[in-house]
Amino acid sequence: MPSNEQRRQAAKRKLERQLERREAQAKRRRTITIGATIVVVIAVVAGVFYFTRTGEDTAQSETPQAQPDIQIPTELAPPPKRPTPLPDPVSCEYRPDGKQPSKPVQPPANGEVSSQGTVQATLKTNQGDIPLTLDRSLAPCTVNSFVTLAEQGFYDGTSCHRIGTSGLQMLQCGDPSGSGSGGPGYAFDDETFPELQYGRGYLAMANAGPNTNGSQFFMVFGEAPLSPDYTVFGTISEEGLQVIDDVARAGDDGSYEPSPGGGKPNKPVIFEKVEVQA
């Protein structure tokens, strides 16, 4: 028979085992509860994050954001001038570029063109008028091409497909397709000079390399650290620059980043008509 002391020791060990089991069970319950709480918190946070991100992404895609703090110079660049005047007249050649024109148009006639005088033109846009002065003494063949296209309505109803607001500050237009790769179906030579520098108020031709001028042009409203490879053929009035400044402050969609830079204007610019005052 077990003694009283042995019975007491056995009872004590039994109680200790019961207490250990109860503590283990309680610990498991606490672990399960904490784990479930963590899962719920993660699910809630993940849900909040998902809907927040989705909402931000949708807002960004549907409502393009203006770039903040766009710095636009207010001082006009000195009027462009050739260091050595061109002969008068000059000979111009407009050759097929092997591409279909973005809009039906007849190229200018080849031959002699005056390098004297200016032509007034107005880009009548949905954002306001942009008056231009086309200068034959800078680029007679370019002025002749622009006037010919404008008089045929080539630019009417077209939009400016690209604006740059940092680095190169300009508004690029003149492609009826709106893609940035369209043109009139012909090309002509550059009319540049090494001393050429670009600045606020300059009107210049866009190109795809040497002697590939067509219908696309750009209007400089600010900084333009470019090499002298783009034909300047006129200037933009202060009234017109105010219109472009307003468009620039609305920013762009970044669709041309990182190269060539910029994007479609958030505030679209559409040429309702291009008027030329002979």
Tens of pLDDT along the chain (278 residues)?
Answer: 455 555 555 555 555 555 566 565 655 555 544 444 444 333 333 333 222 222 222 223 334 555 557 899 999 999 999 999 999 999 999 999 999 999 999 999 999 999 999 999 999 999 999 999 999 999 999 999 999 999 999 999 999 999 999 889 999 999 999 999 999 999 999 999 999 999 999 999 999 999 999 999 999 999 999 999 999 999 999 999 999 999 999 999 999 999 889 999 999 999 999 999 96
Decide: helix, strand or coil at residue 125: strand
Residues in CB range of 178: below 8 A, 6 or more apart: 158, 159, 161
Q: How far apart are CA 161 and CA 276, in angstroms?
A: 22
- pTM exceeds 0.85: no
Q: What's residue 135's pLDDT? A: 98
Token pair recorded at residue 112: 């002699």
Please give the Cα distance from 235 to 10 (Å, whole number): 107
DSSP at 128: E
Residues in a beta bridge with 17: none
| Residue 148 identity (one-letter amino acid) | T
Q: With left for phi above 0 and alpha for psi between -120 and 50, is residue 211 left, alpha or beta?
A: left
Measure the CA–CA gap between 174 and 203, rounded to whole angstroms. Answer: 12
Nearest one of 173, 171, 176, 174 to 250, comparing CA atoms: 171
pLDDT at 53: 27
**Kind of pairing between the strands at 202-205 and 232-236:** antiparallel
175/159 Cα distance (integer angstroms) = 7
What is the identity of the amino acid at 158?
T
Q: What is the DSSP letter of 6?
A: H
Question: What was the pLDDT predicted at 17?
Answer: 59
CA angle centred on 221, ends 217 and 67, rounded to 5°: 105
Q: Report the C-alpha gap between 126 and 265 in whole angstroms.
A: 13
